[in-house]
Amino acid sequence: MKTPIVPFADITRQHEMIQTELEAAVLGVMRRGDYIMGQAVQDFEADFANACGVAHGVGVACGTDAIALGLQACGIGQGDEVILPANTFIATLIGVLRSGATPILVDCEASTGLIDLAAAERSITPSTRAIVPVHLYGQMVSPTLLINLAATYDLLIFEDAAQAHLAEREGYRAGSIGLGAAFSFYPSKNLGAMGDGGMFVTRDEGVARQMRTLRNYGAPKKYLHTEIGTNSRLDTMQAAILQVKLPHLSRWNQERNALATHYQQALKPLIRQGISPMQNHVGSGHVYHLYIIRVVQSGEANFTCNLDRDTLLAHLEANGIQVGIHYPLPCHLQPGFQFLGYRQGDFPVAEKLATEILSLPIFPGMTRLQVEQVVSVLTDAIVQPVERLIPA
């Protein structure tokens, strides 16, 4: 592949804008020497929780730990059924399994890729204790529908908000709907560290206390171990970096939103060619962690594309446009998870989406011209005969 004309994401662009502040923050930690659970961790926990509209934040080593330990802190464990979508990153499923609970997968909506709440309702049994909505791609699952469902069946809501920092919908902010929520600070996330990092947020003081115990060898105080916890702390250096980046997050999210609007406009002529952008709910504060289009193949849709997704992907890559697939194989079909007993055909919408979705470049610092370049290469591919697509 040539040097990309448009990279999938370019984190260095973000950092260039705040380079001096970042360097001062890192140097500050180096000089203070409070490498484990230092001041920056406490400061960032408070500021991030506040940004989510909840009282408590507990920093952990990564988003997966925030799910696994967070569910445990919320009292979820063995014998409890937990509903989650099949269309998510595998970490959601790993987190549920690590909590000791039994995962119950459900299908997703074709238009958004988000969990299908009607399917979730049909999966509820007397053992169901919690639902884990994943605010996938940066768009929240409807808080009002979730709250109604949870109230009707006495379920706990635990949000996987790893892709949805500061997302909003129906007056709620991601992380503030349920008893607990998990965030990831993987470098390419909307708020990313320079390494791994994660955060659990909750409005409940007792749950927060339990989470602090779990992340620190099960110790509510030094050398007193009340349970088998683990070592999963947010690194002080990463917290200091995240603390510098947090005040810029709203602006970066707005940039992503503006780019998405530009894509939406530019892609309009391709809708008749079977290119269908994922739906953005009206009025939702989508933060576009990812910008997803569907390369629609035969089925329910009015328009179908003359190319399949993989051919289009190869054409884009060969012409300098880096793209991704989030995700190519749904959780229930992953080889390491066959023991759960799911089969091909169990979640037809998620399975079909996995063959049609394509993630286009989107990142703060990306230009409108780059959006147009992406759309132009896409257009080129769709209007040309297949044989001429990929240069020899």
Site of interaction with ligand PLP (CB under 6 A): 62-64, 88-89, 91-92, 134, 160, 162-163, 184, 186, 196, 198
d(CA 382, CA 273): 7
Nearer to ligand PLP, 109 or 382 (CB): 109
Q: What is residue 370's DSSP assignment?
A: H
Picking from 257, 315, 329, the residue whose alpha carbon sits closest to that of residue 286 is: 257
Nearer to ligand PLP, 19 or 188 (CB): 188
Number of C-beta neighbours around residue 51 at 10 A? 19
d(CA 135, CA 189): 13
Report CA-CA distances (Å) from 384 to 228, 231, 315, 320. Answer: 60, 55, 11, 18
Taking CB atoms, the residue at the shortest distance from ligand PLP is: 63
Nearer to ligand PLP, 159 or 315 (CB): 159
Nearer to ligand PLP, 112 or 319 (CB): 112
Nearer to ligand PLP, 91 or 237 (CB): 91
**Whole-number minimum distance, CB 185 to ligand PLP, in Å?**
7
**Whole-number minimum distance, CB 94 to ligand PLP, in Å?**
8
291 Cβ neighbours under 8 A, 6+ residues apart: 137, 259, 260, 263, 277, 359, 360, 361, 362
**Whole-number minimum distance, CB 287 to ligand PLP, in Å?**
13
**Whole-number minimum distance, CB 107 to ligand PLP, in Å?**
17
**Whole-number minimum distance, CB 82 to ligand PLP, in Å?**
14
Nearer to ligand PLP, 132 or 267 (CB): 132
Picking from 144, 171, 166, the residue whose alpha carbon sits closest to that of residue 157 is: 144
Please state whether 340 falls in left (phi above 0), alpha (psi between -120 and 50) or beta.
Answer: alpha
**Whole-number minimum distance, CB 239 to ligand PLP, in Å?**
14
Tell me how far apart the terminal alpha carbons of the chain are, to the nearest angstrom: 12
